[in-house]
Structure formats: C-alpha cells, structure tokens
Amino acid sequence: MHLTFSSHDVTNTTLTSDNGHAMFRVDTTGSALSGRTTTIHKTYTDKGGELRSEVVAQIDWQLLHGTTLRFNGNTVNAESFIQNSGLRRRDFSFTGPDGKVYKWHADLRSLQLDAFDGTTVATGSGGKRSLFGSHDGHLTINQAAYFMIDAIVMTFVYVEGTMERRKKAAVAAAAS
C-alpha cells in the first residue's frame, strides 16, 4: 500500500491511498512551550456508507517530562516504547503487536522499517521544502504488514517528527 501525504509536515497531514481515499489524518495542536499533541485518526467507511474516523494514537511532545504515546488504551513513555540507538542515534526499535522487534532506520532522506529477520516492512519519507521547491511525503507498506498498519503509521510519525525536531535544534544551535 502506498500512502501519500497531503503536506510536507507529517504532524499535520492526510495520508491518502493510490485510489484517492483518505486513510489517516494527522493533526497537531498546542505550542512549543506548553507541549504539542499529535493525534492520528484512521478514516473508514462504515456499513451504511458514512465516512467515519477514530483516534488510533496520540503523541504528546513534551520537552521537560518526555514524550508519551497513547494507543490501544495504553500510555507509555516514547523512549521506553521506541528505543533510539545506532551511530548518530538514527535507529528506532519497537515491539510490534505480534511481539516481534521492528527497527526504523533513518537516513538524511528517508526511513526504512525492517522486521527482526531483515525483511523490509515499510519505507517512507517526510515531505521536504527547499529553495528548489517542495514535495509531499509518502509511506509504502508491505502487504504482509497490514495487520500492524496503525503501529507503522504512529511510529513513522514519531520517528519523522523526532528527526525533524533534531534538525531544527541543530540549525538553531548553529545560528547562535
């Protein structure tokens, strides 16, 4: 499944399938000082043909108290659920709903999610803006991983958001 983001900002976007159906909506409220909350909604059509949405996850971005994730009725510290490791802290591991370990590998342009056995489960890239234009992000999910699509979208938004915040902090530090 190939999902396209409607915006370069993965924390404020709609993820649309190839056939044009909105699959997920992501919105973020709050401020940098008080903290921001990113809410991920899954959209679907009910039996009566009505378009519905349900909250599948929330990310509470907190500077002082640490970021928390809310999903499946649980609230967990993001750093305990998604362990950050690797050279330059660009690997993010988490345990999927099947009890197996998955790892996002982040490079400068994209993310790749691999299963414990090395199989690529998903690839994606947040949107980018530059002097030469912009492009919206995308997320491609292997059919064998559809059972955990909510976890993939939540962790993608978290990892991409974390990487973007690190870039902004580095730019601000370099400017001062």
* Residues 9-14, mean pLDDT to the nearest whole number: 91
Beta strands in 18-148 (DSSP E): 22-31, 35-45, 51-61, 68-71, 74-77, 83-85, 91-95, 101-106, 111-115, 120-125, 128-130, 133-135, 138-141
Hey, what's the torsion of the CAs at 8, 23, 144, 73, to 10 degrees? 100
* Residues 165-174, mean pLDDT to the nearest whole number: 68
Average pLDDT, the chain: 88
Percentage of the chain beyond pLDDT 90 is 61
Give exposure, 36-48, as e/b (b: 16+ Cβ within 10 Å): bbbbbbbbeeeee
Task: Give strand pairing partners of 68.
Answer: 60, 77
| Residues 124-142 pLDDT 10s | 987 665 555 556 789 999 9
Q: Tell whether the model's pLDDT for residue 31 goes beyond 80.
A: yes
Per-residue pLDDT, 45: 86
Per-residue pLDDT, 102: 97
Residues 6+ apart with CB under 8 A from 131: none
| Residues 146-163 pLDDT 10s | 999 999 999 999 999 888
